[in-house]
Structures are given as C-alpha cells and as structure tokens.
Amino acid sequence: MNAASQSPRRPTGRFMAAHPARWVALGLGSGLSPKAPGTVGTLWAWASFLVLDPFLGPRGWGLLIALSCGVGVWACTRTARDLGVSDPGAIVWDEIVAFWLVLWLVMPAGWWMQAVAFALFRFFDAVKPGPVAWADGLFKARAGEPIGWRQGLGILFDDLVAAGCTLLVLALGVQAWPVAQAFWQG
C-alpha cells in the first residue's frame, strides 16, 4: 500500500515496538506523549545529554550526533511512511538530535543557560520564524507524492536550523551581556 493513499495512523506503544526505526524516530517513547511531544522529546534530549555527557566527552558527542543524523533520516522516513504522514508530531528524533547539538556546543553551561537554550530551541522549533520556516518547507511532500527520504531529511533539517538559530541568539546574548553590565554599572 502506498503511504500517500493510506490514512494517517496515531502511534502507540505497540506500533513503536514493531520496528527499530520507530523506537528511534519516536524517541524511545517520548514522542508518544499525548500533549506537546516535541517538548517532551526535547526534555528527553536534555536529560539523556546530562546522563551521557560524562561518558562521551566532546569527540564522542560529535560522533554520536553525526551518526544520529544518518540513522535519523532512515528512522524518520520509515516511521513517517508507516504513519502515513510526511512530518508527524510524534516523531521527536529531530528534536533530540538538534538539542543534543545545542547542548554539545554550549556546555559546560550552568542550569540557567541550559534552560534558556531549551526555551529558545522550543521557540524556534514551534514558531518557525524566518529561516526555520524556509527549512521546514524545503522538503515537504507535494500532493500525491509518496513519503520518501526527502521527507525524512526534512524532518531533521528544520530542527537543525532551529538549533543553529538558538546557538546564534545565545552567542549574541553572551557577547552583549558584558556590554549591558558595563552600561548599567555606569
């Protein structure tokens, strides 16, 4: 059956358990959240980063993120096709990998900076201003087009752009902070 002719499915634990790609794409179950799965997936990314960071180090994170992008295209493509939706909200691997990238590049950062990074990333991912909207539309399936690797790549790409926007705003904020402090101190 062609995914374009299939009616969309809602993922369940049983759906996820049926194929390894679904485990990955649904963020080991975090994408099954009935409310705000993208936010839950990003929180899962944050928690897993903090758990794994002492074991991986910078080089290990770089390798894991690169591998996760490649595996993610496969897993997101397969899962989107199985769900019959080109970019289902339950797929949260994109949030996980993109937020890992943000944390990898801002660490070591205190809790408040991590929280600001989380809030900025969720803003860019949910609202999709400017470049994120462009990235989101770049790989969307056209009417009647079967779900393929382009959509799997697109699922990841807009979140990676959201991560880039988050990092840019954080970098500008860090640069502006000493200037603002000097201004207020006199």
pLDDT in tens, 127-180: 999 999 999 999 988 878 899 999 999 999 999 999 999 999 999 987 766 655
Q: What is the 3 state secondary structure string of the chain?
A: CCCCCCCCCCCCHHHHHCCHHHHHHCHHHHHHCCCCHHHHHHHHHHHHHHHHHHHHHHHHHHHHHHHHHHHHHHHHHHHHHHHCCCCCCCCCHHHHHHHHHHHHHHCCCCHHHHHHHHHHHHHHHHHCCHHHHHHHHHCCCCCCCCCCHHHHHHHHHHHHHHHHHHHHHHHHHHHHHHHHHHHHHC
- pTM for the predicted model, two decimal places: 0.90
